Structure 1
Amino acid sequence: MIKMEVCANGVVSALAAQQGGASRIELCDNLQDGGTTPSYAQIKLAKELLTIPVYPIIRPRSGDFLYSDLEFNLMKADIEICKLLNCDGVVFGILNAEGEIDQLRCAELIAIASPMKVSFHRAFDLCHDQEKAVEAIIELGFERILTSGGQVNALVGAAQIATLVKLAAGRISIMPGAGIREHNVAEVMRITGATEFHATAKSVIRSAMKFKNIEVHVGAAADEYNYEVTAAEIVKSLIEKANGRQY
C-alpha cells in the first residue's frame, strides 16, 4: 500500500492528516516559505495527540540551505528539543556553497538526533548533481529523500525521480513531493515507481470574523481573512487515488 506523508502546518493540520489516513507527519511552520521549524508547543502537542510518527522540519529560516555557524547551532538545539519530546524523526538538509551535500554538518546533526530517524528534505533539489547527492545521503544514513526531481513540481520532475528510484535500488526511499494533488498522484506514481508520497492536502478556511479591515495587511497574504489547513478528506482521496492506480 502507498504511504502518504503529510506536510502539516500545525497540530490542527496534523490531526486532520491522521484522520484522513496519513502514514506520517512532517511538522512545519511557514509553508509559504517552504517550511521552517515549528514551535516547541506545536511539537509537544503533536506528540501528545497523534498516534502516527511525527517528524519536525529543522530549518531555521527560509531561503537557501547554506547556514552560518549560529544557524547551525540553532538546528542542533532544535534537534535536541525534538529528542526530548520523543519525536520519531527529524527532517533537514544542509548544502555547501558548491551545491553539494555538507556531509560533515549533516553527520553531526544525525549523531545528535540518534536514535531518531532522519529524512533529507528538498534541499536535495538544489544540488548540482543529484545522482552524486543520493550516494552521499545514503552513506550518511538518511532513510528517505524528499524531491521534486529538481523541477517546479513532482509531475514535471517525474522522469528524473524515476531515475533516482532506480539508482537508490531500495537502499533509501525516494519520496516525490511538491504539487502532489488528487488529479496527478496516480500519474506520478506510475512514472516514478515510488511507494511513498508527500503532500500538504490543504484547503482554505474562511475567517469567522464579522468585522474586516481590508485596508490592512499584517503579513504577506493577499487576504488576511483566509488561511489554509490540511483537510482529512483530501488526504483520504489522495491515498485512495494512488492505491486505485496501483492495483
Structure 2
Amino acid sequence: MTDAGAVRVEIGVESLAGVRIADAAGATRVELCTGLSVGGLTPSTALVRAAVETADDVQIHVLIRPRPGDFRYSADEVALMRADIEQARAAGAHGVVIGVLDEQGNIAVAANRELLAAAEGMEVTCHRAFDVCADPYGGFDQLLELGFTRLLTSGRQVSVLDGAALITRLVTLADGRIQVMPCGGLRADNARRVIELTGARDLHAAVRIPVPALSAADATGVDFAEIGAPRGFDHFVTDADGVGALCEAARLSV
C-alpha cells in the first residue's frame, strides 16, 4: 500500500505462521512479539531473523518489552532493551515498538531518547504505555518532540470505539507529524466505523483463535495452557480468516 490515502493494517503476531498470514492478506506491517496474552514481550532474535527471511511484502516491527506489567523500567531493563533493538536491527527488522514511563507515570524522556537513538534509521512506534501515562496530552507532545514514527493507542479505553473521541483528537493534533494507530478490539466488523470516526489511516489488531488442548491435560491435572485460553483450549494462533477480513475491510474503506 503506497497510496497516501490507503489504510495501513498492522497485525500483532507471535509466529512465522502469523507472519505468513499477515503477508498473504496484504497487511503493511506485523508487530512481532511473544506473550500477547500479557500484552506482548520481546521475541527471540532467532524468531526475528526468521520472520525477516519469511516475509515477502509485510514489514517486520519488533516489540521491545522485557517483562509483563507496567512500563517503569530499571536502568538494567533499559540497557537490555537497547541491546534488543540493536539485535533487531542486525536481524533486518524494519522497525521497533517501545515505550518507557517514569516513576510518576509520565513519558520518560531520557530513556525513550536513548532507545530512539539505538533505533536510528528505523521506524519507531510508541506502544500502549501511552494509554496508562499520567497526562495524555502532555505525553503526546513529548512523543512528537522525541520523533516517534507512530503511536499505538486504544484512546485510553479497553475498546477502540470507547476511546474513539481521544483518538480523533490526537489525529487532529498530530497534523501528519506522527501516525496515530487505533487498536483495542479492532476487527473487520468495526474497522470502517473506526476509520470514519477517527480519521486514522493506520489500524492495529492481534486477531487470534484458540487451539484445542490435548486430552491428556485433563487426565493428569497438569495445565500449561496460555493465560486467557478458554477451558478445553491450550493457546492462541493468528486467525487467517479474521486477518484477511480485516485487511479487506481496510481496503474497502478507502
TM-score range, shorter chain: over 0.9
Measure, in 1, the Cα distance between the counterparts of 2:67 and 2:38: 9
| RMSD of Structure 2 on Structure 1 (CA) | 1.5
Match of 1:236 among 231, 244, 254: 244
Alignment of 1:166-177 (within 5 A): 166-177=172-183
Using the alignment, how far apart are the partners of 1:136 and 1:11 within structure 2? 34
**1:213 alignment partner in structure 2:** 217
Residue 23 of structure 2 corresponds to: 18
Aligned mates of 2:81, 2:239 — CA distance in 1:
30
In the alignment of these two chains, the number of paired residues is 244
* 1:224 shift after superposition: 6.7
Q: Distance in 2 between matches of 1:41 and 1:188?
A: 35
Question: Aligned letter for 2:9?
Answer: M
User: Under a length normalisation based on structure 1, what TM-score does the superposition of the two structures give?
Assistant: 0.93
* SS of alignment partner, residue 35 of structure 1: coil
Q: What is the letter of the counterpart of residue 146 of structure 2?
A: L
User: Does 2:57 match 1:49?
Assistant: no
Report deviation, 1:4: 0.4
Q: Distance in 2 between matches of 1:230 and 1:31?
A: 11
Q: Report the Cα distance in structure 2 between the residues aligned to 1:10 and 1:68, rounded to whole angstroms.
A: 29
**Overall identity of the aligned pairs, in %:** 39
Partner of residue 3, structure 2: none
Partners of 1:64 and 1:224 lie apart in 2 by 30
Partner of 1:139: 145
Offset at 1:148? 0.4
SS in structure 2 at match of 1:213: helix
Q: Deviations over 1:184-207 (max 9, x none)?
A: 111111111101100012123335
Q: Distance in 2 between matches of 1:213 and 1:164?
A: 47
Q: Is there any run of 5+ residues in structure 2 with no aligned partner, and where?
A: 1-5
What residue identity is the alignment partner of 2:107? I
Aligned match for 1:106, one of 89, 108, 112: 112
Tell me the CA shift for residue 16 of structure 1: 1.0
The 2-side partners of 1:35 and 1:184 are apart by 23
Note if 1:31 corresponds to 2:36: yes
Structure-2 residue corresponding to 1:93: 99
Comparing 219-228 and 179-188, the one that deviates more:
219-228
Q: 1:121: which partner in 2?
A: 127
Confirm whether residue 80 of structure 1 aligns to residue 86 of structure 2: yes
Determine the C-alpha separation between the residues in 2 that align with 1:242 and 1:22.
10
Shift of 1:241: 2.1
The one of 1, 8, 14 aligned to 1:3: 8
